[in-house]
Amino acid sequence: MGAEFPPKEPSPKIVIVDESPIRAAILEEGLREAGFTGVVHISEMQSLLQRIYALDPDVILIDLENPSRDILEQMFQVSRAVRRPIAMFVDQSDAASIQASVDAGVSAYIVDGLKKERVKPILDLCVSRFNAFAKLQDELDRAKSALEDRKVIDRAKGILMKLKGLTEDEAYVLLRSTAMREKKKISEIAQSILTASELLK
């Protein structure tokens, strides 16, 4: 559906509270592309409420890994610290969208009075960008761990070549056959060789 606002309605002011600068940038970019121009990112959690009040946003998006989420819950109260109560995006009928946002790891807080139709595209975009980021992170982690594995295997091969007078190919075959026999990963066998050689030094 995208951001089909009547032309006269100004873009709502959106604050992103996220300590991950990359994820915040991905989300911010997505929101801008969709025509939401007033987007501000807060990465510093000190005096969070004061910062938010100074910005006076219509929508606040926060990642669920952030302990400061509980601070935002305070905005529904009236007290000296909170002069202007804010409602949460609570739509009892829309369990699916709440589920989707929690699954993606993001939560939205909305100023009272902002129409549901205006919030929905923001939340949807937020969910898809958070999911995209999680996928990216996952791929990055996997690539990193593959690289680590390769380093460990190379070092284990070196040890085998030296101790048993094997060629590189023979060392690898030995690692692989041992891994198959013990139903373990090659990198695990390689790691135990490194550990053993440390101990026997």
Question: Which parts of this chain interact with other proteins (CB under 8 A)?
Answer: 45-47, 49, 64-74, 76-81, 88, 90, 92, 95, 98-99, 102-103, 107
Nearest to 5 by CA among 169, 98, 92, 119: 119
> From residue 83, how far is each of 47, 62, 67, 80 by CA, in Å?
15, 21, 22, 6
Q: How far is the CB of 84 from other proteins (least distance, A)?
A: 14
Using the minimum distance from each CB to other proteins, give the nearer residue, 102 or 140: 102
> 104: which 2 tokens?
């993606």
Using the minimum distance from each CB to other proteins, give the nearer residue, 41 or 69: 69
Q: How far is the CB of 152 from other proteins (least distance, A)?
A: 24
What is the longest distance spanned by two Cα atoms in the chain? 79
DSSP state of 76: G
Angle (CA) 117-121-127 rounded to 5° is 135
Q: How far is the CB of 64 from other proteins (least distance, A)?
A: 5
CA-CA distance, 113 to 58, in Å (whole number)? 9
Using the minimum distance from each CB to other proteins, give the nearer residue, 71 or 166: 71
Helical packing angle, 95-104 and 116-164, nearest 10°: 30
Using the minimum distance from each CB to other proteins, give the nearer residue, 8 or 92: 92
Q: How far is the CB of 74 from other proteins (least distance, A)?
A: 4
Q: How far is the CB of 94 from other proteins (least distance, A)?
A: 10
Nearest to 132 by CA among 120, 142, 124: 124
Using the minimum distance from each CB to other proteins, give the nearer residue, 98 or 166: 98
